[in-house]
Amino acid sequence: MTELLGAGPIRYRLSWEQPPRYLYQVEIEAEPSKGKYTDFAIPAWRPGRYIIQNYAGAISHFAAYDEAGNPLSWRKITKDRWRVPNPSRGRLKVRYRFYARQIDAGSSYLSEELVYFNPINLLMYLPGRTEEPCELELLSLSKDWDVATALPRKGEYLFYAQTYHHLADSPFLSGPSLRSEKTTCCGATLHVHFWGRVGVQNLKGFLDDLCKIVQTQVRIWGTLPLQEYHFIYLLVPFQIRHAVEHEYSAMFVLPEEGAASEEALKSFLGISAHEFFHVWNVKRLRPEALVPYQYDREVYTNLHWLTEGITDYYTAVTLARAGLISPTDYWQRLSAELTQIENTHAYQLFSPAELSIDSWLATSPYRPAVYQGSFYAAGKRVGFLLDMLLRRETHGRVNLDSLLRYLYRRYYERRAGIPEDGVEKAAIRLGGAAFRDFFRRYVWGREAPDYERLLQGLPLRVERRVTLYPGLGRIGILRTSPTESSGLRVQEVLPESLADRIGIESGDVLLTVGQYAADALPADFWEKCQDGEKISLGWSRAGFPMEAEFSYEYSLLTRRIVIDIFPMQDSFVP
């Protein structure tokens, strides 16, 4: 357990020049650590995004001082840790600058009209002292601007955190166009903040829909472990949908066109439902490996199929139970998602458990696109099948809601994290021995599910059919995008397809198909092709022209599996 030094909180002061130049100026004042020196470190990653992001790359102008302002010598000892010798008496200070010019839901940005930061990006911590209380003062903030954050206020622009973990988990947003409203739901106050262009005068309908989401998820978990929660929406004039969960808030970066009307705002409900589900799943109930967070290294768990995938499964479940989408819409969405998974090669190569561990490899330049599976999607499939099998094996007495509530009581309420085999053991305890084989095949293993067998005995009908991919998908080119000049940039090639055998790779630019330009191919081109017909392809790779010819054979065309699941009772949703 961390020993608190007891000489007041660690104080952070944040300022910037006028006009801002994307540079935050940070000052930290603290009691020296025990011993000869005090270390300061910046996190290498953030919870919710399990890759090394190296926030230290944005730091410059590091300096250290004693209480009287005299400079102290210091030394950088790793890429994200600085060591300062302790002064003979009094507290010490460090100062540095952080370059903030990136906008997503986990980053930091600074401009004349927007102050936005995630403390985990730019505020250093003192290793071994992350349990000490902290204060944060915003020295340069305009008196006319309000602030959107879940961190408690101690003064007008002074905020208090119980620990560094609490501080790091509390994003800030401020600007002249900040709009904030609130409502009461399930005994808690929901705060909704929008920065950017909102075309809706009255947000009551949106607030009511958010409340329906909260009510539905509280029924799933049986408790709401907070009294206030902040939905913080940063609206931008370009296409992006990104969000990050926090213990008492969620941060969203979304296109402003989604807030143009009451109907358009409904497009924000799914991502909002996903992030609010994290109030329980991962922000409180989380893998043992993440208790407590270690910010200086990769932290490995095979349970991200639970933390993100099960959360994603409950996104549509929440909307359907809350009456925000129809049962028909729910089953169509689920069928499309399962179809996508069954036709993505990565899920044949890596299990949900492996994909969880391999989150740290997502940015590796050595990892080919065909290996890029998602623990979100893999976990969603596991969640659906686990939910259905629990219902079937217990004749409806237990479902996935029951399993989550059991885990919450068994681990979070006892201040423990979930062991790596904790979900499997809980499923066996609640549902029986059949779940040992289920986890072996579909969580630790890579088997493709037999949906008909697994869903047998439930009020569901499964249709499985095989069809040809449309368009260029017939030869295995599954995704393309336009280029600035001519041709189509290849984004995904199915392994062992015709295109793969010919040698076309992701990143190539497809120029011609037969006598046609690739980006002007007639819609009925493939239907008119005859068996045995010779077809030439032309493409470029890094500017070098390439070509090949193949014989069109119907038996060699790329096929996809289509999974459709229909409820036998029209109103049934999980």
The domains found in the chain, sorted by start residue, are 10-174 (2.60.40.3650), 177-279 (1.10.390.10), 292-459 (1.10.390.10), 471-557 (2.30.42.10)
SS (HEC) of 210-229: HHHHHHHHHHHHCCCCCCEE
pLDDT in tens, 84-97: 999 999 999 999 99
- CA count, 13 A, side-chain hemisphere, 137: 10
Instruction: State the average pLDDT over residues 461-488.
Output: 94
Q: Render pLDDT for 214-248 as a digit per residue (tens, 0 to 9).
A: 999 999 999 999 999 999 999 999 999 999 999 99
pLDDT of residue 449: 97
pLDDT tens for residues 401-433?
999 999 999 999 999 999 999 999 999 999 999
Nearest to 75 by CA among 85, 83, 67: 83
pLDDT tens readout for residues 379-406: 999 999 999 999 999 999 999 999 999 9
Cα(358)–Cα(360) distance, integer angstroms: 5
* Distance (Å, whole) CA 148 – CA 233: 10
pLDDT of residue 2: 46
* pLDDT of amino acid 455: 96
Structure tokens at 456: 């047998």
Mean pLDDT, residues 271-282: 98
Task: For the chain, state the CA radius of gyration.
Answer: 27
Evaluate if residue 6 carries a pLDDT over 80.
no
State mean pLDDT over 512-522.
Answer: 95
Between CA 34 and CA 148 the distance in angstroms is 36
d(CA 518, CA 454): 42
> Of the given ranges (26-35, 197-206, 365-374, 545-554), which has the lowest mean pLDDT?
365-374
**Rounded distance between C-alpha atoms, residue 518 and residue 525, angstroms:** 11
Average model confidence (pLDDT) across the chain: 96
How far is CA 17 from each of CA 20, 27, 112, 119, 148, rounded to the nearest angstrom?
A: 5, 14, 10, 19, 21
The residue behind tokens 């709401």 is 224
At residue 4, does pLDDT exceed 70? no
Contacts from 196-202 at CB under 8 Å and sequence distance 24+?
196/233, 196/234, 196/235, 196/236, 196/256, 196/259, 197/235, 197/237, 197/256, 197/259, 197/260, 198/235, 198/256, 198/259, 199/259, 199/260, 199/261, 199/264, 200/259, 200/260, 200/261, 200/262, 200/265
Q: How much is the pLDDT for 368?
A: 86
What confidence score (pLDDT) does residue 156 get? 87
Please choose, from the candidates 322, 306, 320, the residue with its C-alpha nearest in 3D space to the C-alpha of residue 404.
306
pLDDT digits (tens, 9 = 90+) for 124-179: 999 999 999 999 999 999 989 999 999 999 988 999 999 999 999 999 999 998 99
The stretch 46-56 carries a mean pLDDT of 97
Q: Measured between alpha carbons, how far is 152 from 383 in angstroms, rounded to an integer?
A: 36
**pLDDT score recorded for residue 571:** 83
Residue 1: pLDDT band (50, 70, 90) is: very low
Which sign, positive or negative, has the C-alpha torsion 73, 78, 82, 87? negative
